[in-house]
Amino acid sequence: MNPLLYFLFFLSGAAGLMYESVWARYLGLFVGHEAHAQVLVLVIFLGGMSLGALLVTRRADRVRNPLRAYASIEVVVGVLALAFHPLFVTVTDWAYSHGFPALSNGAGSAFLKWGLAGLLILPQSILLGATFPLMSSAILRRCPEKPGRVLGWLYFVNSLGAALGVLVAGFLLVGLFGLPGVLYAAGTLNVVAGTGAFLLSYRFGPNPAGLAANSRIPEPAGTPPASLDRALLAAAFFTAVASFCYEIDWIRMLSLVLGSATHAFELMLSAFILGLALGAFWIRARADRLRDPLAALATIQMAMGVLAVATLPLYVASFSWMAWLHRALTASDPGYVLFTVARYAFCLAVMLPATFCAGMTLPLITRLLLARRRSEAAIGQVYAINTLGSILGAIVAALLLLPLLGLKGLLVFAGLVDIGVGALILAAAGGRRLRRFAFPLAAAGAVLIPLAVAVDRRLLVSGVYRGESLKTVGEQHLDYYADGRTATVAVTRGRDGFLALSTNGKVDASLSEGAQRRCDPKNPLRQIENDEITQLLTGVLPLGFLAGAEDAAVIGIGSGVSTHALLASPAVKAVTTIEIEPRMVDGARRFAAANRRAFHDSRSRIVIGDARTVLAGSGRRYGVIVSEPSNPWVSGVASLFTEEFYRRVAAQLTPDGIFAQWLQTYELDDGSVLRVLAALDAAFADWQVHQAGTNDILIVATPSGRLRRPNWEQVSTLPLLQADLCGVVPLGAAELEATFLADRGLLRGAAQRAGRPNSDFHPRLDLEAERRRFGGANADALLQLGDRWFNYARQLMNRPAEPTPARAMTFAGIRRSVERLTQTWQSAPATDSAPTPALARVQYEWRRWQSGLLDRQPPSDWRSWVAEFLSRARFRHAGTAGWIDEGFFQDATEFARRHQAPNIVQDLIRFRHATQGWRSAEALEYAERLGGYRVDLSEWIPIQDLLDGAVVSAVMMNRRETAKAWQERYGALAPRDSADVIAQILASLVDPAAAPPANPRK
């Protein structure tokens, strides 16, 4: 047979998996990412394919030219792919703007949602389901003598195309062209396959109707043909049930080793399908020569069940392999490539033994039925029934058995199903084929192996894929563990009492031992640290912007502390907390010491569901919406950081409502953060960024007008909040004000320069986040706006800041609070003992500086003296903006004059004095003078400091050409990453015309 037909079917397989993966993304945006929603999307897809195969089955022997029919279907599928994206956007926009609001949450809304989802992909799915039976008929009519070989080749090339297609789409096409581009690529493959098949159909001419098999397989004596047929069809059905249980179980198991990122899922899916392809390839040359194909099929089924369970030791060992891999690879782009290849190898090691067997079953079953029936209808019937089994397997595994049996139990169940299928085939064959001991031995192996392999649940939730060490696993106590429908949720307690809530090994919330104790006035006051800062501030900061009594919604329950904090305000009438995973709610109950109101306040309501669908169907507008999901690299989460999602959220807010978006800066780069800001800017009229943790930010936005000036005094004195903070360093208005980093006016230009905003259909954040996590990226530049050497961010925003004494901090790690603390303790009386060694060092250096100013001899090295001067100037003015300690500069100036310092030293003092006081003309004058010295300026002042001071001063004077000249002159001597937030801010100020046009708001 012409090998071109197999190549065309390879292309069809690649396109089919592209559709499956991309349609799942599209419909996930519409119907949500809940477990039942994901399963129903799969049911629509597989159900359509099963229906398509059944429709072909009814007319299989009467189709005169199946190759031409196949070609027509491929072309139609390709054309429909080109129309899918605009149709999806139109349909979903109508549903959100008119359909859901009219129906509200309930049966009507659900019916509309799933009806539209079905209409979007069901027609194409039906057509795709018809392709395999038609292509099989087309080839078998010309090569009837070896049906097993033909079927093996077809399953192999189609599955191989699918395995490669999911990788090419996920790792290449989505990043280059977005989701619409993947559809266009898949549609093109369909059109190419259809056109090629159409041309070949003319070359071959019409096929004779019907199929004459080359031989019949001998039937067991005394076994009615119908009985064996039913057994084979049952085998096709139940082996699909087991295989889908394996697939779901392995994806969930391996996500604990490889991580829950989208790329990790693509690797797992590809490895699973590649195993099927290799099994089909191996059996293709043997299917027609087997002496006893029934016995072979039964053996393969039993071996599959035993091998699937026997991979448990490999799975347990993979945690150690992953830990070693992190130690062995460098955090670089080449390292990430090796990391990806190694993860694919891990997937194959676990999946290949069983999937190899699974790939042999359908060619054998179809071959057997073809020989018995002499009808092409057997091809479509086996394909359709196998697909129906996949549907049942998906439903039962994801929604029932996984939460009920757990990961290990589901694997054993699926293995026993396959062993039972093998026993069924042997029983149906009857007589001599019944191997009396085969089933008991196989079943015993499937049960005894798991009993012999201990799986430590603490190991499962160790987060090894993030480079976490396995050395402390044994020190953890597991307070809670559950395999939920969408994630494995655990609460662990360390030896120090530290409580951590994790999903698939990723810690999403934590609580220190001190936060769990009852307040005792006798204990020393403590600081709020780590995740507690984020959990609290995410709920507290939005309260400062409230205009009056409001309804609120929180996306993601986490520890429940953010909901608890919102409810500290009597202005909040009700809080709806939306959580996609029910087990997370159970885990959050272990944080009762810090989240009581989330579960016991009458104003609190917890809803299980996807945030998009719950908000859209609520039929109400909120005064506050807080989005605190997991990290964006977790599959599905990045869709909560997109332009389209923000538009939906803005439509759910009251005109003066508040939206608060949490985002981590760790494991992300500045470009990723800026693209999130650009996406948010497209939907909101005003916004500002606050530091909400050591490495976290909170973006506070409003859909219309300007943000109100926050009333931090009122928030900090809320009685319920004060009661929550009993035993903590007292919280004041200044502490909350210190969280402010930047506003829209400062960051908007930089965000627009960062490239295409993160969107549903061009999910750059989803694609980049895992690579950034592996590389240890840190978007620290945005946080540095709180502690730059002179706070030019506040100068550009015209937000001066006077010294606000702080002898202790409520929140550890808030940059400006640290600066305030440093400024206070630096000049504290000598009798006051600093609370930390770092502050004691600052005190010591300040006193040494002051005593040095009294020296009668000039310094031996003026360069060292200038370095000390710049350091003291920074600490003396830490946490302030536009404020000058004139005495400090007078003393430095007098010392330099008295000892006849070089002119460059005196000009440096004047430059630093002018920049600190926001005297732009004077600062620029002295910057120019410094630039005129024929010396290596880097020996006297960091070039970055000189450049920033000059550029900002020129911008403030509206002398952008001067600023541009400074950048051209000194930029190469003080390079910044082009995606650096500060670099983008300065570039947008120097050349605002170079920024892309603003995104229009709806």
Q: How confident is the model at residue 217 (pLDDT cuts 50, 70, 90)?
A: very low
| pLDDT, tens digit, 9 for 90 and up, residues 810-848 | 898 899 988 888 888 888 887 788 888 888 898 899 999
User: Hey, is 743 helix, strand or coil?
Assistant: strand
Q: How confident is the model at residue 787 (pLDDT cuts 50, 70, 90)?
A: confident
Distance CA 115, CA 666 (A): 41
CA distances from 907 to 221, 863, 896, 911, 944 (A): 107, 13, 10, 6, 17
Helical axes 312-328 vs 225-258, angle rounded to 10°: 30
Residues 380, 70 contacting (CB under 8 angstroms): no
CA distances from 862 to 238, 664, 896, 939 (A): 84, 42, 9, 10
pLDDT, residue 997, reads: 45
Distance CA 93, CA 215 (A): 57
Percent of residues, the chain, with pLDDT higher than 90:
64
User: Hey, is 884 helix, strand or coil?
Assistant: coil
Distance CA 388, CA 382 (A): 10
Residues 618, 610 contacting (CB under 8 angstroms): no
Mapped to the 3 state alphabet, what secondary structure does 314-367 carry?
HHHHHHHHHHHHHHHCCCCHHHHHHHHHHHHHHHHHHHHHHHHHHHHHHHHHHH
Burial class (CB in 10 A: 0-12, 13-18, 19+), 374: middle
- Other C-beta atoms lying within 10 Å of the C-beta of residue 722: 14
pLDDT, residue 435, reads: 55
| pLDDT, tens digit, 9 for 90 and up, residues 942-953 | 998 999 999 999
Residue among 248, 264, 763 nearest 505 (CA): 264
Q: How confident is the model at residue 191 (pLDDT cuts 50, 70, 90)?
A: very high
Structure tokens at 438: 């085969």
Name the pairing type of β-strands 488-493 and 477-483: antiparallel
Structure tokens at 689: 């960024």
Distance CA 38, CA 33 (A): 6
CA distances from 35 to 81, 554, 609 (A): 26, 20, 9
| Residue that is written with structure tokens 């502490």 in the block | 735
Distance CA 79, CA 188 (A): 8
Reply yes or no on whether the pLDDT at 97 is more than 90. Answer: no
User: Hey, is 490 helix, strand or coil?
Assistant: strand
Between residues 137 and 34, which one has the greater pLDDT?
A: 137
Residues 820, 738 contacting (CB under 8 angstroms): yes
Reply yes or no on whether the pLDDT at 13 is more than 50. Answer: yes
Name the pairing type of β-strands 696-702 and 506-511: unpaired
pLDDT, residue 790, reads: 66
Mean of pLDDT values over 879-902: 94
Mean of pLDDT values over 856-860: 92
DSSP state of 475: G
Distance CA 51, CA 559 (A): 45
Listed in sequence order, the residues at least 6 apart from 310 whose beta carbon sits closer than 8 Å to its beta carbon are: 353, 445, 449
Residue 701 host element (H or E): strand 696-702
| pLDDT, tens digit, 9 for 90 and up, residues 420-448 | 898 888 877 764 544 555 667 666 766 77
Structure tokens at 727: 């035993």
Structure tokens at 315: 């799975």
Residue among 196, 200, 197, 175 nearest 185 (CA): 175
Reply yes or no on whether the pLDDT at 36 is more than 60. Answer: yes
| pLDDT, tens digit, 9 for 90 and up, residues 920-936 | 999 999 999 999 998 99
Residues 506, 630 contacting (CB under 8 angstroms): yes
pLDDT, residue 391, reads: 94
Q: How confident is the model at residue 62 (pLDDT cuts 50, 70, 90)?
A: confident
Structure tokens at 416: 């026993």
| pLDDT, tens digit, 9 for 90 and up, residues 521-542 | 888 889 898 899 999 999 999 9
What amino acid occupies position 640? L
Distance CA 444, CA 839 (A): 67
User: Hey, is 702 helix, strand or coil?
Assistant: strand
Q: How confident is the model at residue 9 (pLDDT cuts 50, 70, 90)?
A: very high
| pLDDT, tens digit, 9 for 90 and up, residues 497-525 | 899 999 999 999 999 998 898 888 888 88
Task: Tell me the helix, strand and coil percentages in the chain, rounded to 5.
Answer: 65, 10, 25
Listed in sequence order, the residues at least 6 apart from 290 whose beta carbon sits closer than 8 Å to its beta carbon are: 296
Structure tokens at 508: 């999403």
Residue among 125, 124, 158, 126 nearest 139 (CA): 158
Reply yes or no on whether the pLDDT at 901 is more than 70. Answer: yes
pLDDT, residue 972, reads: 85
Reply yes or no on whether the pLDDT at 996 is more than 90. Answer: no
Return the C-alpha torsion angle 554, 559, 560, 562, nearest 10: -60
Reply yes or no on whether the pLDDT at 225 is more than 80. Answer: no
pLDDT, residue 743, reads: 95
DSSP state of 526: B
| Residue that is written with structure tokens 């599905």 in the block | 636
Q: What does pLDDT average to over the chain?
A: 89
Name the pairing type of β-strands 686-693 and 696-702: antiparallel
Distance CA 70, CA 76 (A): 10
Residue 689 host element (H or E): strand 686-693
Reply yes or no on whether the pLDDT at 214 is more than 50. Answer: no
| Residue that is written with structure tokens 């004000």 in the block | 737
Name the pairing type of β-strands 622-627 and 653-664: parallel
Domains annotated on the chain, with CATH: 1-212 (1.20.1250.20), 222-455 (1.20.1250.20), 460-516 (2.30.140), 531-784 (3.40.50.150), 792-994 (no CATH)
pLDDT, residue 438, reads: 63
Reply yes or no on whether the pLDDT at 999 is more than 90. Answer: no
pLDDT, residue 786, reads: 74
Least confident of 183-192, 626-635, 715-724, 980-989: 980-989
Listed in sequence order, the residues at least 6 apart from 894 whose beta carbon sits closer than 8 Å to its beta carbon are: none
pLDDT, residue 221, reads: 41
What amino acid occupies position 530? N
Mean of pLDDT values over 903-915: 96
Mapped to the 3 state alphabet, what secondary structure does 796-851 carry?
HHCCCECCCCCCCCCECCCHHHHHHHHHHHHCCCCCCCCCCHHHHHHHHHHHHHHH
What amino acid occupies position 50? S
> Sign of torsion, CA 467 469 473 478?
negative
Residue among 898, 921, 894 nearest 909 (CA): 894
Distance CA 246, CA 306 (A): 12
Residue among 669, 621, 613, 659 nearest 639 (CA): 613
Reply yes or no on whether the pLDDT at 193 is more than 90. Answer: yes
Reply yes or no on whether the pLDDT at 547 is more than 50. Answer: yes
pLDDT, residue 288, reads: 86
| pLDDT, tens digit, 9 for 90 and up, residues 228-238 | 888 899 999 99
pLDDT, residue 211, reads: 54
Reply yes or no on whether the pLDDT at 470 is more than 50. Answer: yes
Q: What are phi and psi of 552, to 5 degrees?
A: -130, 155
Reply yes or no on whether the pLDDT at 967 is more than 60. Answer: yes
Residue among 477, 504, 509, 508 nearest 488 (CA): 504
Length of the chain: 1002
- Other C-beta atoms lying within 10 Å of the C-beta of residue 678: 25
Reply yes or no on whether the pLDDT at 215 is more than 70. Answer: no
Distance CA 304, CA 235 (A): 13
Listed in sequence order, the residues at least 6 apart from 378 whose beta carbon sits closer than 8 Å to its beta carbon are: 366, 369, 370, 372
Structure tokens at 628: 């605190």
Distance CA 847, CA 759 (A): 54
| pLDDT, tens digit, 9 for 90 and up, residues 105-142 | 677 878 888 899 999 999 999 999 999 999 998 888 88
Reply yes or no on whether the pLDDT at 213 is more than 50. Answer: no
Mean of pLDDT values over 788-816: 86
pLDDT, residue 282, reads: 96
Residues 661, 680 contacting (CB under 8 angstroms): yes
pLDDT, residue 785, reads: 83
| pLDDT, tens digit, 9 for 90 and up, residues 659-682 | 999 999 999 999 999 999 999 999
pLDDT, residue 78, reads: 96
| pLDDT, tens digit, 9 for 90 and up, residues 293-317 | 888 999 899 999 999 998 899 999 9
